[in-house]
Amino acid sequence: MVARQRTTVDAGGSMGSTARSAARSVRNRVRYRFDRLLSRGSWAVLLWLGIITFVVVIISAALLAITGVTFAGSEDNSALEDFWQSLIRVLDSGTMAGDVGWGRRILALIVTLTGLLIAGTLIGLIAAGVERRVERLRQGRSIVVESDHYVVLGWSERLRVVIDQLAAAEPNASVVVLADRDASAMDDDLRSGLDAALGQRLVVRSGDPRLPSGLELTNLEEARSIVVLADDAWGGGTSVVTTMLMVGRRVGFDGVPIVVEVPDDATREKLRRATGPSVRTVIVAEAASRLATLVGRQSGLSEVLEALVDARGPGINVAVVPELIGSSFGDAVLGLDEARPIGVIGASDELMLNPPAGRVLEAGDRLVTVAADSGAAVVGERRVPPAPDEPLRLGVHPTAMRLLVIGWDRIASNLLAEFDRFAAAGSTAIVQYDATLQTPDDIVVPPTTNIEVAVHVGSDPAERLRDAGITAVVLLADDELSSADAADGRTLLDLALLERELATWESPTPQLIVQLLDDDRSALAEMAGLDGFLISEGVGSALIAQLADVPERQDIFQRLYDPERASIHLVSCGRLGIDAPATWSPARIRRRHSPSGCSRPRERGRRPVLSPPLNADVEPSDLIVVVG
């Protein structure tokens, strides 16, 4: 048995030796070296092709010199001429057609065949390199060479609206999107819903925004502003924080403006403490709730607020006007033709909306205006201000609300809490929920001071519509359903029932505040002829884009949300002393207000006119948009 084992070992050793010999054969060595050569990249292959070409040409020239002959077309038998004739036969296979004599022909054929092999290899390398480059471009892995551009990090349902709003806010700026998805798929998805002119300024890159290798592609250092969205694939706020901190590590927190979408107030507070006030945080549900409560405070405000947050028209801007330094705020109101001043941000970043008319503008002050853009704040023909008259106190008091909330979802508690801030004591709210979708434990009513909340079960949206004094109906999408499509379908059906019921009512009808989960269905909720406001992801997306364009807007909007501070109101011309048709200029300087536009009555199209020209007509039926 020992001998047999030794034989086995010997046989195994012999077989191993044979295998090693085969592995070290010349053929395998050449193949191995060639594979190693290809792995080094195209430059190494090109270098070796050049060396082979040079060697073949040298050998051919040497053979011509030794035999004392030349190729056809040459009358010179010098070494340089032989080298040249050999080289052109490598590069051009047709050159050998005139050669005479079998010796010359055989040599020319060998040189030409070598040239064909080299040319074929070279063409293949070029084609492969171009293909790799095109594939790399489609994968979005090249570094962006842009400046003063917007950078959006993360993939979200809100992305298309954010891009559209950013492009409308700054038509000449590019928008760079970085997300951990296939770049070509993202590009096709985004461009399918965007304007063709915008698509020319859209740049898509594929990479993880939470990693330095991904952020390197976007040229953050030269960006105009950075937006961090809660990526749908991340499933939580931790990754948003990771991305934001990675961005801060790269560009700092005090340089490029950063706008971050956060999931809750606790995350926002931690980010504020970790990064400072220059990082702007947005909770989409909270922003939508606050806009809804502003709308619910006064009929007609919905169109005004929608216009203010839409970058396609005049909105809130911040501008420095050196020509007005030393002038009063009242002079600024009279001195700007295409912008309506509504406030001042002092050199110490103190914000004052509707400041006293005598407030003197100092160096470092910035005007808060309602205008098409910051460049519209241009001093026109200076006007002598009239003698100041007594300030007109708006006397705006909290309004008594009778709310009907149909359905329940994640923003319902926040919405009721925001309504409670603006409501007068003694207001009421009826919450009606469908028992097939929610249980009583799901209805978590927040603590309220001014609104008394009653909860009822019911599936008919019009069941309690005729309860006495309903001022606003809030129709919420039930996000507990299987999909957004199912939730929105149910909401749209309930909306159709409410519209049919309200069509038989005498004016005034209650306001309609409707929530949809999918922005693409917004067109189906156009509440024609009714005072309505649509809560959707588009509202939060537009606000994110507003802050990315002008970060100071966050403080301004927060101030407008505050029921204890100056806010937006609609005031009749009669209260301002405008009893006959007039031009906009007298309407503006009439009282101590910061007028910014007017709202037409429903029979005239019910559309807001923001930042009107000084010669615009004001009709007695118009409502003046004021901040006060």
For β-strands 175-179 and 150-153, DSSP reports them as parallel
Strands of the sheet with 568-572, listed across from one edge: 568-572, 623-627, 594-599, 608-610
Burial class (CB in 10 A: 0-12, 13-18, 19+), 574: exposed
Amino acid occupying residue 470:
I
Amino acid occupying residue 127:
A
Residue 17 to residue 554: CA distance in whole angstroms = 78
Bigger pLDDT: 133 vs 471 = 471
Return the axis-axis angle of helices 79-91 and 42-67, rounded to nearest 10°.
130
Among 3.40.1010.10, 3.30.420.140, 3.30.950.10, 1.10.287.70, name the CATH number for the domain at 36-139: 1.10.287.70
Q: Does domain 150-282 have CATH number 3.40.1360.10?
A: no
Average pLDDT over residues 301-327: 85
% of the chain exceeding 70 in pLDDT = 74
pLDDT in tens, 255-293: 889 999 888 888 888 888 888 777 898 888 788 888 888
Predicted local distance difference test score (pLDDT) of residue 24: 57
Predicted local distance difference test score (pLDDT) of residue 439: 86
E strand or H helix at 412: helix 412-422
Residue 372 to residue 119: CA distance in whole angstroms = 60
Query: Strand, coil or helix: what is 17?
Result: helix
Burial class (CB in 10 A: 0-12, 13-18, 19+), 469: exposed
- Residue 356 — very low, low, confident or very high, per pLDDT cuts 50/70/90? confident
Q: Is the pLDDT of residue 390 over 50?
A: no
**Bond prior to 508 in cis (omega within 30° of 0):** yes
Burial class (CB in 10 A: 0-12, 13-18, 19+), 593: buried
> How many CA atoms within 13 Å lie on the side-chain side of 619?
8
- Residue 465 — very low, low, confident or very high, per pLDDT cuts 50/70/90? confident
Residue 317 to residue 314: CA distance in whole angstroms = 9
Amino acid occupying residue 554:
Q
Predicted local distance difference test score (pLDDT) of residue 297: 77
Task: Check if the beta carbon of residue 172 is closer than 8 Å to that of residue 224.
Answer: no
Q: Does domain 402-531 have CATH number 3.60.15.10?
A: no
Of the ranges 50-59, 73-82, 310-319, 581-590, the best mean pLDDT one: 310-319
- Asked if the domains 36-139 and 150-282 are classified in one and the same CATH topology, the answer is no
- Residue 541 — very low, low, confident or very high, per pLDDT cuts 50/70/90? confident
Q: Is the pLDDT of residue 96 over 80?
A: no
Phi, psi of 394, deg, nearest 5: -65, -30
Average pLDDT, the chain: 77
Predicted local distance difference test score (pLDDT) of residue 418: 85
For residue 132, give every residue at least 6 positions away whose Cβ sits within 8 Å of its Cβ, in sequence order, or none. Answer: none
Domain residue extents for the chain: 36-139, 150-282, 402-531
